[in-house]
Chains A and B, each alone.
Chain A
Amino acid sequence: KNQVEQSPQSLIILEGKNCTLQCNYTVSPFSNLRWYKQDTGRGPVSLTIMTFSENTKSNRRYTATLDADTKQSSLHITASQLSDSASYICVVSRTGNQFYFGTGTSLTVIP
C-alpha cells in the first residue's frame, strides 16, 4: 500500500533553534519527493523537490535529505524564525504524477 508517514505530528521549538522533521514512505515506483510549507489559512508552498538521484537539496534555511534505499526523507530547518510556524507536508509522487500526502507536521516557533 502506498503510504507517507510524517513525524512528529507537532513540534514546539524556541526561536533560533534548529529542528528536523521526518518523512517515511512506501510509495512505489518512486518518482520524486516534495516538501511543502502551509501557513494557516493559505495554500501550500513548495520548498524542495527531490528525485531518486538527489540526496540533499537546500532552499535558504531549509535542507531536505532523501535516502531512497530506506525510503526516508528529512527536512532540517536552521536558525528557526517565528515565520517558520506552519504545517510542513511531505508529498511522494509515483511515476505518472500520482501524489501521496503525509498528514503533516505542525511546527510552532515561540520567542
Chain B
Amino acid sequence: KAGVTQTPRYLIKTRGQQVTLSCSPISGHRSVSWYQQTPGQGLQFLFEYFSETQRNKGNFPGRFSGRQFSNSRSEMNVSTLELGDSALYLCASSWGQEGETQYFGPGTRLLVL
C-alpha cells in the first residue's frame, strides 16, 4: 500500500510570491491534515480537510489556505510569502475518525528568500 506522498519535496521562492503544495493521502483515507514544522516552533497544525470540507483550523493567517478534491488529494496554498514561512510542510492522512493513527508524508521543504 503506497504511503502519503507530497510534491514537490523541495521548493525555493522569493518574498511576495505564492506557492502551492500537494499531498496525496493513502488510498481510502478521507482526512488530510497539514502542519508547519520549524526549528523554533516545532510542529504546528494548519488545517484538516475531510471529505472536501475544512473540518479544523489552526491559528495561521488567511494567507494559508487549502482545499481537498473528491479523490481526497489536497493542496495547500500560501500567498504573499514571507521569510518566516520557510519551513517543512507536512501532511498526514487518516480515515478521519477521532483517536486513530495519522500517517505522515515526507514533507515539502520550502525556503523563502
Contacts and interface: CB of A to CB of B under 8 A. Distances in A.
B45 to A, nearest CB: 5
Contacts of A36: 104
A78 interface: no
Contacts of A103: 41-42
Given A43-B90, A43-B104, A43-B105, A101 B42 contact: yes
B101 interface: yes
Interface residues of A, number: 24
Interface stretch (A11-19, A21-29, A45-53, A66-74): A45-53
A86 B71 CA distance: 33
Nearest to A104: B42
A32 interface: yes
Interface residues of B, number: 22
Contact of A49 (B33, B41, B99, B107): B99
A1 to B, nearest CB: 12
Given A43-B105, A44-B104, A32 B99 contact: yes
Given A89-B43, A101-B43, A49 B55 contact: no
Given A31-B99, A32-B99, A89-B42, A43 B106 contact: yes
Contacts of B100: 49
B7 interface: no
Contacts of B81: none
Interface string A81-111: 0000000010101011111111110000000
B65 interface: no
B42 A102 contact: yes
Interface of B: 4, 33, 41-45, 48, 55-56, 90, 92, 98-107
Interface of A: 31-32, 36, 41-46, 49, 51, 89, 91, 93, 95-104
